[in-house]
Amino acid sequence: MDYLDTLNEAQRTAVTAPPGPVLVLAGPGSGKTRVLTHRIVYLIRELNVSPWHILAVTFTNKAAKEMRQRVEEMMDGRLRGLTMGTFHSVCARILRRETDNLTWYDRDFVIFDTADQQQVVKQALKDLNLDDKKFPPRKMLNGISNAKNELITPDLYQATNYIATVTQRVYEQYQKVLHNNNAMDFDDLLMNVVLLFDERPDILAKYQQQFQHILVDEFQDTNTAQYAMIKRLAAAHNNILVVGDSDQSIYKWRGADYRNINRFRKHYPGAQQILLEQNYRSTQLILDASKAVIQHNPNRVHKDLFTERQGGDPIVLREAYNDWEEADTVVSMIQSLLLDGYAPNDFAVMYRTNAQSRALEEAFVRANMPYRLVGATQFYKRREVKDLIAYLRLVHNPLDSVSYGRIVNVPTRGIGAKSKEKLQQWAVSQGLSPAEAHIMLAIDPDVQHPFNGRAFNALSRFGALLDAWTTLRETASVGELMDAILEQTGYRDYINDGTEEGEDRWANVMELRSVAAEDTAVTLSEFLEQVALVAEADNVDAAVNASTLLTLHAAKGLEFPVVFITGLEDGILPHSRSFDDIESMAEERRLFYVGMTRAKDRLYLSHAFRRAVWGEPEVMVPSRFLNDIPAHLLDGVGTQKRREQTKSRASSWSWSGSQTTSRTTPSRRSAPQRTARKANAVPTTRRAMPEPNYQKSDFEPPRPETAVPHYKTGQKVRHVKFGDGIVIESKPTGNDAEVTVAFSDVGLKRLAASFAKLEIIDN
DNA sequence: GGATCTCATGTTTTT
DNA sequence: CATGAGATCC
């Protein structure tokens, strides 16, 4: 078999494993995608399995698409009926097919995203007369989502304290609101499939019969609901192959549990286990450094990654003065590497939080370098895009009161709060959804209603539009429907107000329009589903010749010749929210590990001396993870030395230029590089830019930190008069620092550091 | 009824 | 600092 020749022994063992449960533990870059694609080909060719009987679940839609392409190439295009996609999209497809068997939903159900969910929670709180200040929707949603991921329905919810009791009630009401809207949230897609399978053995049997061979990628990031689903599906034939790496589990906060790997072992004691340790991506040096970092996690299965790419360039570790300088250093490094023959799309710049992309973007723009941004202000979350989608959803599903609420009066059409409320009441009394009520007003001349002339006109006019679009939907394509909506609502004039931002917003609308135009045959239902389930990483288009800016999370599964990981500071990369929990800290470490192992040839690590985490810049401590990289793998000096260098550079900036350069009137950004036509390929929201001829002196002049001792949160200090206390907060103010101390005797005091002469007695 | 302003509030990661 | 809610003004 020629296609098996290209595999190493472990890979071949996995690919040709006899049917049955198989667990593949695959280190980064060990060719797990190859294993999956070859396995599918093997099943079809060698074992005569029909593609119809295969289900392959991937982490992103993009991964699914690529995998399908590869398989098709290897098979010369002979695979109809193969099911491949993310858990969410596979579940959506199943539920769509089974709507007749669902209690609460009909065929046109829509998928609500996070923003919609927020609205639903608010509605639920209102229905229950609960104060959304006391019970923040975000928190409520969290509790609900966690429950759903654990397959806990409202009536199974065990409330052990007051807040949980409230959560349960909100959860119950939340589900009711969703049902009324004919809508599911992301978690429902998973949970409802499992519930359906449990309720209807006949339906489960049907899918067991179809999916006789199941393959799951990124198994370490499955949650309870996902695992429950595949376990049920596999129960009849036991042909299940999962690929995962617990060291790359980074979605615990979303309910993922890498312990599913252990559960799998327990549940299938006879499972064949294969370890993929040969890495085909990175240099040995990068692997050694990554291994040194991940080794510090407790309770892991040891893997001995190796590669034939011996040696490699040392990892470069640098400290920058602040986030600005860090970004500039990254960009100029890229520029010099470009001269060495690298292409712009060979580079990726990674960071922990989306907010960090800003300084980087600006540096790229200043340098006139092409870049593309993954995530951040996502295309599908933009106001104008959401508006248009809300219109489409409402036409598709008139029960969707969330979408209705979003656009009843956008653009404004004389339907204010009073009218809205009155209509709401009237709709309820008529047993109609708000949208249906509008339509009723428009088409039934004899209808009894409580509205005065002006309000009636506005309300029924909107109803007439809805009615017309609903009719149009039957015959027109999605694109044509969009055109009609945009035209008849005057949306263009509303959004395109002559400002640059307005222009951008309109461009985004047209972008969405062109997505619909790509496939004229797509139904409204399909289009909406597609749009609801796009993943961050789906928009990483390798064909674009630009450097990639992305979060460490979004980097999973990708690889780049040169990787920069920025913001390696305590509080950022281990994120401050993970300090007090061992498991979260371990996950932060895995996140760093995932980032490092994306690099093929070169890895650059950086941290900043000062960074504005929120408002005022603070002095940062280099990430604790950096200490775990052996010095001989690094091109860089020790922590102390780095900081001294930063300080000496910093002091040279303070005298290098005048302080008069104005930063108060940001100029408009020069023509942005449209590196791609794709959705969020290039940030479209303009941001205030610094003077283009900026110079080093524009950096905030560093403060003479020397005189004032630096206090850290949590330090025990002694004051001559107030006695002993603990530092609550310390923030720089001009040449000084303002320290907030909780004294055991006199309580909270705010002190000027230079004045108070606090004695540090313990860290 | 609608637009604009101010104030407060809260910030990880995303299907 | 960015978004959202509430108040105020038109």
**Could you report the per-residue pLDDT of A350-403, keeping only the tens digit for each?**
999 988 888 888 888 889 898 888 865 567 778 888 889 999 999 999 999 889
Nearest nt to the CA of A60 via C1' is: B15
In the set A62, A598, A611, A703, the catalytic residue is A598
A348 strand-pairing partners: A548, A563
Nearest nt to the CA of A383 via C1' is: C3
Cα–Cα distance for residue pair A87/A99, rounded to 1 Å? 18
SS3 A740: strand
SS3 A274: strand
**Could you report the per-residue pLDDT of A454-513, keeping only the tens digit for each?**
889 899 999 999 999 999 999 999 999 999 999 999 888 888 777 777 887 888 888 889
Secondary structure string (H, E, C) spanning A496-509: CCCCHHHHHHHHHH
- Is strand C in 7 Å reach of the CB of A614? yes
Are the C-beta atoms of residues A434 and A408 closer than 8 Å to each other? yes
**Could you report the per-residue pLDDT of A201-244, keeping only the tens digit for each?**
999 999 999 999 999 999 999 999 999 999 999 999 999 999 99
Distance A594 CA to B7 C1' (A): 42
Nearest nt to the CA of A118 via C1' is: C4
For residue A70, give every residue at least 6 positions away whose Cβ sits within 8 Å of its Cβ, in sequence order, or none.
Answer: A33, A37
Distance A453 CA to C8 C1' (A): 28
* Known active-site residue A618: no
pLDDT higher than 80, residue A98:
yes
Are the C-beta atoms of residues A19 and A587 closer than 8 Å to each other? no
Q: Which residue is nearest to nucleotide B13 (CA to C1')?
A: A553
pLDDT higher than 70, residue A141:
yes
SS3 A187: helix
Token pair recorded at residue A407 = 């656009």
Q: Mean pLDDT across the stretch A637-647?
A: 76
Which segments of A106-151 does DSSP mark as H helices, in order? 114-127, 137-149
pLDDT higher than 70, residue A265:
yes
Confidence of residue A637 (pLDDT cuts 50, 70, 90): confident
In the set A217, A257, A384, A569, the catalytic residue is A217
Name the residues contacting strand B (CB < 7 Å): A 60, 86-89, 113-114, 136, 138, 186-187, 250, 253-254, 352-355, 375, 409, 412-419, 455, 533-538, 551, 553-554, 575, 577-578, 584, 614-615
Cα–Cα distance for residue pair A28/A289, rounded to 1 Å? 13
Cα separations in angstroms, A493 against A263, A469, A488, A510: 57, 20, 11, 14
CB atoms under 10 Å from CB of A94, counted, come to: 20
In the set A32, A372, A600, A611, the catalytic residue is A32
- Is strand C in 7 Å reach of the CB of A18? no
| The residue to which tokens 């709507």 are assigned | A99
Least confident of A313-322, A433-442, A694-703: A694-703
Distance A228 CA to B2 C1' (A): 51
In the set A218, A323, A362, A511, the catalytic residue is A218
What is the reported pLDDT for A683?
A: 36
* Known active-site residue A218: yes
SS3 A69: helix
Cα–Cα distance for residue pair A426/A434, rounded to 1 Å? 9
Nearest nt to the CA of A588 via C1' is: B13
Confidence of residue A747 (pLDDT cuts 50, 70, 90): low
Strands A240-244 and A22-26: parallel
Nearest nt to the CA of A142 via C1' is: B14
* Known active-site residue A33: yes
Distance A422 CA to B5 C1' (A): 28
What is the reported pLDDT for A148?
A: 94
For residue A43, give every residue at least 6 positions away whose Cβ sits within 8 Å of its Cβ, in sequence order, or none.
Answer: A49, A54, A213
Distance A122 CA to B7 C1' (A): 22
What is the reported pLDDT for A478?
A: 94
**Could you report the per-residue pLDDT of A13-72, keeping only the tens digit for each?**
999 999 999 999 999 999 999 999 999 999 999 999 999 999 999 988 888 888 998 999
Nearest nt to the CA of A254 via C1' is: B14
Distance of CA A701 to the CA centre of its chain: 35
Cα separations in angstroms, A297 against A100, A248, A264, A300, A590: 48, 12, 22, 7, 8
**Cα dihedral A641, A644, A650, A652 sign:** negative
A723 DSSP 8-state letter: E
In the set A37, A58, A123, A248, the catalytic residue is A248
Least confident of A588-597, A691-700, A732-741: A691-700
- Is strand C in 7 Å reach of the CB of A431? no
For residue A513, give every residue at least 6 positions away whose Cβ sits within 8 Å of its Cβ, in sequence order, or none.
Answer: A479, A482, A483, A486
Give buried/exposed letters for A184-207 (b at 16+ CB in 10 A, else e).
bbbbbbbbbbbbbbeeeeebbeeb
Q: Mean pLDDT across the stretch A75-83?
A: 83
Cα–Cα distance for residue pair A632/A314, rounded to 1 Å? 8
What is the reported pLDDT for A151?
A: 95
- Residue A493: HSE in the Cβ half-sphere, 13 Å Cα cutoff: 6
Token pair recorded at residue A251 = 């979605």
Amino acid at A54: I
Confidence of residue A697 (pLDDT cuts 50, 70, 90): very low
What is the reported pLDDT for A689?
A: 25
Chain C nucleotides close to protein (CB under 7 A) are 1-3
A47 DSSP 8-state letter: S
A498 strand-pairing partners: none
Cα–Cα distance for residue pair A91/A226, rounded to 1 Å? 10
Which segments of A255-303 does DSSP mark as H helices, in order? 260-267, 284-294
Nearest nt to the CA of A688 via C1' is: C1
Chain B nucleotides close to protein (CB under 7 A) are 1-3, 10-15
Are the C-beta atoms of residues A730 and A718 closer than 8 Å to each other? no
CB atoms under 10 Å from CB of A656, counted, come to: 11
Are the C-beta atoms of residues A317 and A622 closer than 8 Å to each other? no
Cα–Cα distance for residue pair A393/A460, rounded to 1 Å? 20
Confidence of residue A333 (pLDDT cuts 50, 70, 90): very high
A213 DSSP 8-state letter: E
- Is strand C in 7 Å reach of the CB of A377? yes
A670 DSSP 8-state letter: P
- Is strand C in 7 Å reach of the CB of A545? no
CB atoms under 10 Å from CB of A244, counted, come to: 23
| The residue to which tokens 């280190």 are assigned | A27
Distance A132 CA to B9 C1' (A): 14
What is the reported pLDDT for A698?
A: 29
Measured in degrees and rounded to the nearest 5, phi and psi for residue A56 equal -120, 125
- Is strand C in 7 Å reach of the CB of A270? no
What is the reported pLDDT for A492?
A: 86
Whether residue A201 is preceded by a cis peptide bond, meaning omega within 30 degrees of 0, is no
For residue A392, give every residue at least 6 positions away whose Cβ sits within 8 Å of its Cβ, in sequence order, or none.
Answer: A478, A481, A482, A485, A524, A527, A528
Secondary structure string (H, E, C) spanning A579-635: CCCHHHHHHHHHHHHHHHCCEEEEEEEEEECEEEEECEEEECCECHHHHHCCHHHEE
Nearest nt to the CA of A61 via C1' is: B15
Confidence of residue A431 (pLDDT cuts 50, 70, 90): very high
Distance A424 CA to C8 C1' (A): 27
- Is strand C in 7 Å reach of the CB of A445? no
Are the C-beta atoms of residues A389 and A550 closer than 8 Å to each other? no
For residue A409, give every residue at least 6 positions away whose Cβ sits within 8 Å of its Cβ, in sequence order, or none.
Answer: A415, A416, A420
Predicted TM-score (pTM) of this structure = 0.80
- Is strand C in 7 Å reach of the CB of A613? no
Confidence of residue A1 (pLDDT cuts 50, 70, 90): low
Are the C-beta atoms of residues A611 and A620 closer than 8 Å to each other? yes
